[in-house]
Amino acid sequence: MTTVETTHHQMRIGGRDVDTAGKISIIDPSDGSVVATVPDGDASHVDDAVAAAKAAYESGVWSAKTPHERAAIMRAIVGAAREAADELIELEQAANGATIRQATGFHIGYALAHFEYFAGLAETYEWERAAPVSDFPALSQSVVHREPIGVVGAISPFNFPLLLTLWKVGPALAAGNSVVVKPDERTPLSMLAFARIAERNGLPPGVLNVVTGPGRVAGARLAEHPHVGKIGFTGSTSVGREIMRLASGTVKQVTLELGGKGPSIVLDDADLDMAVDGVLFGCFVYSGQICVSGTRALVPRRLHDEFVRRLVERAKTIVLGNTRDFDTDMGPVIDGKQQARILDHIRRAEVDGATVELGGSRPGGEQFERGFWVSPTILSGVTNDMPIAREEVFGPVLVVIAYDDDDEAVAIANDSDYGLAASIWSTDNGRALAIADRIQSGSVWINDAHQINCQVPFGGYKQSGIGRELGPDALDGYTEAKTVQVDLSTGLKAKPFGILLGHAE
C-alpha cells in the first residue's frame, strides 16, 4: 500500500499545475497529523478555471467528439485509475478517515464503476428524438436534440470526495461539457490525482479543472459565475440554499443532493437478528457521515426494550482503530469541529430526556487521544420532536423511537424536513412494499441499507435536494433540450403566417 507523505499537491487549471502562496493543510482525522498541503485558491483561480473550461468547450476538442469517442476515452481513464487504485485509496482515507475496507469498496470501487457506467450512457443516450409528424397548425416534423450545456461546476463534500464528484463529472463529460470542480478543501487529494490520470489518458487540457480553496470563497464564486451554466452540489442543506441563491443570479441549472435524517422502520414481523445488524450498518458505516444514514430507528413499542438490548450488545463488537487495518470497522469523524458538534448534540439530547444506552463520548484508550473520534452511540427515550431526531448530526449517533402501529411509524418517518433515504425491515415483502409506497423519500430499501445502484435515480424529497443523479436519465441534467422543426407544407397559402397575412384562398 502506498504511503502518503507530507507533500504539496497543486491545482489543475487548463492542463497546468497552479499554485498559491497560501497553503491549506490536509489533516488525517485518525491522528490529527498533516499529510499534505494544497493551494489556497480564491475567486481569481475559479475565474481562470472557468475561462479554461469555456475555451476548451468552444474549441470543440471534447464537445465536438462523438459520444462513442468520449466513451472510449472515459473507459481508458477508468482503466488507468484502476491501476492506480492503491494510490487513490490511500489519498482518500488519509484525508477523510475512511477505513481501508470502506475506501476500497465504496469510496474508490464505486467511483470508478460509476464513471464507467456514465461512459456507457454516452453511447446509449437518446441524443436525438423525432416527434410525431404534426398537421396543425401546419404540416411539420420536429426533432428534439440533447446538447451539452457548456461549462459545468461541480462542488463536492468531504465524505465521498471522488465518488460524489464523479457523479457530476461523469455525466457532464459524457454529454460533452467542460467542468470546473471545487472539492471540499479538507479532502481534495483523490480528485486532484484523478484529474491528472484523466489528462494522461486522453482528456484534453482544460476540459476538467480542479480548484482547491474554501467553499465560502472559491465555491461561492463558482456558483455565481456568469459563464457556468450548471452547478451540481452535494453537501448540507444550509449550504445548498446558499448555492441556489448564488446560482439564481444567472438563472443557471442546479442539482442539489443535500441532507437526510433517514428512518429505519422495523416492523413487528422483522427478523430481529437481520434488522439489528442492518440498522447498525445503516447508521454506523463511515461513522454516520453519509447523507443516507439511517439515524432514526423506529421500533414497535412492544419490541423496544428487546431491540435496544440487542442493538447495544451487537454495537459493542464494532471495532474502532487503525483505519489501514482490515479488521477495523469504524474510523474517526472528519475534524475537531464536527467531533465537538456531535458530542454537543448528544449532551443536548440527554438534557431533553434521552438516555445514552451506549457510547456518547470519545472512546477510551491512548490510541484515541489524538484525532477526532466518537464512540458508536445509541440513544433511547427519544421522541421525534427532539432536535436529535430532527437535525442531521452527521456522526455515529442512532436514536431509537417507539411507535404503536404501522400508521404511526409512517407518520413519524415522514415527519421530517428531509426525505432522502429510508429502510424497512420485515419478513413480509408485500406489507413492506405497501409501507414503502407511503414513505416520502427518494430511496426506500427493504431489508437492506446503503444500496446505491448507479442504474437507478438517486436524490431526495423536500429539503433533501432538487433533481436526481445516477440512472439512465443522468445526462438529462447536463444537457439542454433543443427542438428543431421543419415545415413540410408547400405553398405560402398553406402556412400559418400566410393565412395570417391574407394569402389563404
Helix (H) or strand (E) holding 191: helix 189-200
The answer to whether 401 and 349 have CB atoms below 8 angstroms apart is no
Distance CA(291)–CA(166), nearest Å, equals 17
Task: Please name the residues in contact with 68: beta carbons below 8 A apart, sequence gap of 6 or more.
Answer: 122, 123
What distance lies between CA 190 and its chain's CA centroid?
15
Hey, which bits of 82-150 come out as E strands? 128-130, 140-148
Residue type (1 letter), 370: R
Lookup: cell for 89: 485509496
Q: How far is the CA of 395 from the CAs of 87, 110, 143, 168, in angstroms?
A: 27, 22, 50, 25
Q: Coil, strand or helix: which one is 131?
A: coil
CA angle 464, 466, 472 (to 5 degrees): 110
Residue type (1 letter), 70: R
Q: Which of 116, 291, 357, 392 is flagged as catalytic?
A: 291
Annotated catalytic residue 283: no
Residue 255: phi and psi, rounded to 5, are -120, 125
Closest CA to 378 of 361, 366, 403: 361
Distance CA(56)–CA(82), nearest Å, equals 27
Distance CA(40)–CA(10), nearest Å, equals 10
Annotated catalytic residue 291: yes
The answer to whether 163 and 191 have CB atoms below 8 angstroms apart is no
Distance CA(195)–CA(139), nearest Å, equals 49
Distance CA(368)–CA(322), nearest Å, equals 10
Q: How does DSSP classify residue 248? A: G
Q: Which of 87, 90, 92, 257 is flagged as catalytic?
A: 257
Distance CA(357)–CA(338), nearest Å, equals 22
What distance lies between CA 199 and its chain's CA centroid?
24
Alpha helices in 139-179 (DSSP H): 163-174
Residue 34 burial (C-beta neighbours within 10 Å; 0-12, 13-18, 19+): exposed
- Please give the positions annotated as active site: 257, 291
